[in-house]
Amino acid sequence: MKIEKLNKENIDAFIRDLSLNEANDLEKNIDKVSYFGIKNDNTFIMGFDALSDEDKIAIIYVRNKIKENEVKDCISFLTKSLSFNNHLIIDVFDKKLISVLDSVYKVKEVGVSLTGYIENNNLKEKLVDIEMKTIRYFAFKKMFYCNLVRQNIQDETTISMIDNYFKKQDFDNISFIIFEKNVEFFNELGYSIVYKSYIVS
């Protein structure tokens, strides 16, 4: 296996190998993004974004019929290639890949949203007191984003109050970063999983 930086020379092969149907934005903006492809036997099987956090990547693209053992080999290869201390955090957006990794690696956190996507760029941090608890969140225009993991909020009563408060505001999208144990409760509140973040070591 090997890693290649995606560029104008290899983007067509990447799109073809992964059978990507909607890749216009990727093709147009290839010089502006830090995406990398993973090749096995000279064929692209995955694509990832190198995130700003140390030892963290986001797997965005996955070949349609990738085999489970190939996934595990790929994750092992990425850990050996990219981590400084044999420790890597991987955000995974592909549902099939999530189902494979759930049985193998520890989940660090889960991103959920009412609309199926999470936007946390250009958001401004704000504070609000809800039932005598100060909640940190980020908002800009019609977007809302709150990391409950960093605030160690996992009590369902508190979560319900936070959810009720922000659903009454005028946001187009509400998204949270949550503990895995709270996924089912957020599903009941109308949220869907956007990604899961795994600790691989």
Write out pLDDT tens, residues 7-52: 999 999 999 999 887 766 777 878 777 889 999 999 999 999 887 6
Fold of 2-104: Aminopeptidase (3.40.630)
Write out pLDDT tens, residues 49-86: 887 666 889 998 898 888 888 888 998 899 888 876 77
Sequence-distant (6+) residues with CB within 8 A of 175 are 111, 112, 113, 114, 115, 117, 118, 119, 120, 144, 145, 146, 194
Cα torsion angle, 84, 87, 89, 94, sign: positive
* Most confidently modeled range among 33-37, 56-60, 158-162, 168-172: 158-162
- Which part of the chain has CATH 3.40.630.30? 2-104
Write out pLDDT tens, residues 98-133: 988 998 899 999 999 998 777 666 678 899 998 888
Higher pLDDT, 90 or 119: 90
